[in-house]
Chains A and B, each alone.
Chain A
Amino acid sequence: MADRKIVDAKNTFCPGPLMELIANMKQAEVGDELLVLSTDEGSANDIPEWINKVGHEVIESSEDAGVWSVVVKKIK
Chain B
Amino acid sequence: MKILIVGGGMGGTILANNLARKMRNELKSGKTSITMLSASDKHMYQPGLLYVAVGKMNPSEMYRDQVSLLEPSIEFKVDPVTEFNLDDNNVKAKSGATYNYDIIVIATGSRTHAEGTPGLAEYAEQFYTEADAVKMYKKLEAFEGGKVVVAVGVPHKCPMAPLEITFMLVDYFKQRGIWDKVQLHYTYPIGRTHSLEPVAKWATPEFERLGITYETFFNMKEVNENVVMSEEGTEAEYDLLITVPAHKGMQVIEDAGLGAGGFIPTDRKRLNMEGRDNVYVLGDTTNLPISKAGSTAHFEAEALSENIASIATIGTATRDYDGKVFCFIEAGDGKATYAMFNYLTPPDPKAPTAGIHMFKTAYNKMYWASARGLL
Q: Which residues of A contact B (CB under 8 A)?
A: 7-9, 11-20, 22-23, 26-27, 42, 46, 49-50, 53-54
User: Can you name 22 A-B residue pairings with CB atoms under 8 Å?
Assistant: A9-B289, A13-B195, A13-B196, A13-B341, A14-B159, A14-B291, A15-B155, A16-B190, A16-B289, A19-B155, A19-B189, A22-B154, A22-B190, A23-B154, A23-B246, A23-B261, A26-B116, A26-B261, A27-B261, A46-B190, A50-B190, A53-B233
Tell me whether B323 and A12 are in contact (CB under 8 A): yes
Q: What's the Cα separation between A46 and B190 when bound, in Å? A: 8
Tell me whether B154 and A14 are in contact (CB under 8 A): no
Q: Cβ of B344: which chain A residues have Cβ within 8 Å of it? A: 11
Q: A54 with B231: in contact, given A14-B325, A26-B154, A26-B246 (CB under 8 Å)? A: yes
Q: Cβ of A14: which chain B residues have Cβ within 8 Å of it? A: 159, 195-196, 290-291, 325, 339, 341, 347
Tell me whether B217 and A19 are in contact (CB under 8 A): no
B366 at the interface (CB under 8 A from A): no
Q: A18 with B323: in contact, given A12-B289, A12-B343, A13-B347 (CB under 8 Å)? A: no
From residue 168 to 216 of chain B, which have CB atoms closer than 8 A to chain A?
Answer: 189-191, 195-197
Q: Cβ of B217: which chain A residues have Cβ within 8 Å of it? A: 49-50, 53
B260 at the interface (CB under 8 A from A): yes
Q: What's the Cα separation between A13 and B342 when bound, in Å? A: 8
Q: What's the Cα separation between A26 and B323 when bound, in Å? A: 25
Among B191, B246, B260, B290, the residue within 8 A (CB) of A12 is B290
Interface residue tally for chain B (C-beta within 8 Å): 30
Q: Cβ of B219: which chain A residues have Cβ within 8 Å of it? A: 22, 54
Tell me whether A54 and B325 are in contact (CB under 8 A): no
Q: What's the Cα separation between A7 and B323 when bound, in Å? A: 17
Among A12, A13, A20, A23, which residue has the most Cβ atoms of chain B within 10 A?
Answer: A13
A75 → chain B, closest Cβ, in Å?
12
Tell me whether A15 and B195 are in contact (CB under 8 A): yes
Q: A50 with B196: in contact, given A11-B323, A23-B154 (CB under 8 Å)? A: no
Q: A13 with B189: in contact, given A23-B154, A26-B246, A27-B261 (CB under 8 Å)? A: no
B118 at the interface (CB under 8 A from A): no
B122 → chain A, closest Cβ, in Å?
20
A4 → chain B, closest Cβ, in Å?
15
